[in-house]
Structure 1
Amino acid sequence: MKAFFEGIQDLFVNYLFAPYDFFRFMDNWWTANIVNWILFIVVAVAFVYWMLQLKQYNDNGEEDKSISSHSYL
């Protein structure tokens, strides 16, 4: 079992996370965290899209807001 877990460690440390070693040694904080900024932008765009879709369904009156819409209410 020890070799199995060492194999998983080798996979992640030496192969999958290797591109992050490039960002670790940068002098500029903003470029070193470029992956975080890209992730933040993607999540922010998805959140805005989600909120606009919810507003569209709310404006169209398609959502059932009656008390009996869910059995547990």
Structure 2
Amino acid sequence: MPGVGFYLNQKLLNAVKSKAKKERVAVSKIISKALESYLFVDERRLAKEKLFRLIVDKHPLGGKEGWEKLHKERTMEDENRN
């Protein structure tokens, strides 16, 4: 991978270094993951919208109401697992 130089304010740099030390990963990996998340946020949002339209339009789970009911049920099950 090519090296890149840029500036961070001290507070942000300290936060990144702290997270890197805590998680035992390289600072560059944290920065790379953050940039990937930032750059591909629109693609993920569009994919979520496409999935939601499919669920609502095709009604495989009972449309929006069925989806919300299923989501609520699964969320409660996840909470009860702990």
Report the TM-score, using the length of structure 2 for normalisation.
0.34
Structure with larger Rg: 1
